[in-house]
Amino acid sequence: MLTYYTLRKAVSDELIIRFASPTLAALKVGSLISYRTTDFEALHTTVEQWNIKLNPKGVVVTLLQQKKDLYLMYVHRPNLLEHKLKQKEVQHILCPLGYPICPLADSIEHLMHRLDHEEQFPHEIGLFLGYPASDVQAFIRNKGCDGKCDGCWKVYTDVQQAKKVFAQYKKCTRLYLELHQKGKKLEDLTVQRKHI
């Protein structure tokens, strides 16, 4: 689910915890956060600081897109993403859209290009978030209609499994926010996972 957040003051670590906890916990390949701000320098500085804290734990924060004062940030685990993009059913979706599977940076750069130049939102972005390939493909084919269940993504196939995952993500986010409010630092909440 894409979340919009308006920045009224300096960006705090709570923002990334609120919207990317499952990725920080290594439960999810990636998370998207959409920011609205007029202070690009503060946002850029925050992203740099997050990368200093999170890169040693296997998490990367990338600014994917800017449209006026709206910024799309991608928080992801490159090792999990690389594994996901190598899956045949994922390649079946991405290759016809011109995505190079390796190196990973080229795949992300192609996604950025599609975000900036395609008339319609590139819904294959769900694969970069770890959503099931069958659901992403069905979403694209059905133009977002006729899903069986809505949550972090629109579910077309395994509803029971998706509901379990949604509950896991929600529980993780709630726990991470509680721990952060009790003084746990972002880097201490982030699970170190370098290999699958």
With 0-12 / 13-18 / 19 or more C-beta atoms within 10 angstroms meaning exposed / middle / buried, residue 11 is buried
Its pTM stands at: 0.91
User: Would you say how long the chain is, in residues?
Assistant: 196
**Domain-located, residue 195:** no
Range of the domain at 62: 3-189
Q: How high is the pLDDT of residue 59?
A: 98
Do residues 184 and 175 touch, judged by C-beta distance below 8 A? no
17-52 burial code (b ≥16 CB/10 A, e <16) = bbbbbbbbbbbbbbbbbbbebebeeebeebbeebee
**Domain-located, residue 60:** yes
With 0-12 / 13-18 / 19 or more C-beta atoms within 10 angstroms meaning exposed / middle / buried, residue 120 is exposed
**Domain-located, residue 21:** yes
pLDDT above 80: residue 8: no
* Percent of the chain at pLDDT exceeding 70: 93
**Domain-located, residue 42:** yes
pLDDT above 50: residue 3: no
**Domain-located, residue 44:** yes
**Domain-located, residue 170:** yes
What is the arithmetic mean of pLDDT over 20-36?
Answer: 96
Could you tell me the two tokens for 133? Answer: 């390939």
pLDDT tens sequence across 79-95: 999 999 999 999 999 99
Question: How many structural domains are present in the chain?
Answer: 1
Q: How high is the pLDDT of residue 101?
A: 78
